[in-house]
Amino acid sequence: MSQVRTYTRPMAGWWRKNPYFVKYMIREASAPLFYAYALWLLAGLVALARGEAAYNTWRSASSHPLSILLHAVVVVFAIYHTWTWFRVLPKTTPDIDVQPRVLVAAGVAVAVVCCAALFAFAWWATR
């Protein structure tokens, strides 16, 4: 049986033709990075449940230079994710009747406070 051959416009590389879409695709690159980070944390959690030897293997893998380099890449993309996530907030929450600029600034401010609080907690808990 032969398939009907209708013309399909080629879409390969469509996002490279417009800087807006390039930025969009850079943003989307944070998705597999978050996914990988979650799997890495999960590996640590499972190792923690399995015992000290397993957990220490995970810890020493975490301090390998390659791991630190990859985490640094994730941090950069995570910051970009935070910025873009709150920048589209006026569009994703159209029911909130606040000036778009105020809404974006408030979102970023809350993120900064959350990050500061998280660091303060880690600082306090490990003193």
What is the rounded CA–CA span in Å between residue 106 and residue 121? 22
Residue 29 sits at φ, ψ, to 5 deg, of -65, -20
Per CB under 8 A, 25 contacts other proteins: yes
State which residue, 86 or 103, has the beta carbon closest to other proteins: 86
Tokens representing residue 11 in the block = 């879409």
Q: Which helix (H) or strand (E) holds 94?
A: none
User: C-beta of 2: minimal distance to other proteins in Å?
Assistant: 21
98 contributes a contact to other proteins by CB under 8 A: no
Instruction: Please give the distance of CA 27 from its chain centroid, rounded to a whole number.
Output: 9
Among 68, 96, 98, 102, binds other proteins (CB under 8 A): 68
Cβ at position 71, least distance to other proteins in Å: 3
Q: Between residues 25 and 102, which has the closer beta carbon with respect to other proteins?
A: 25
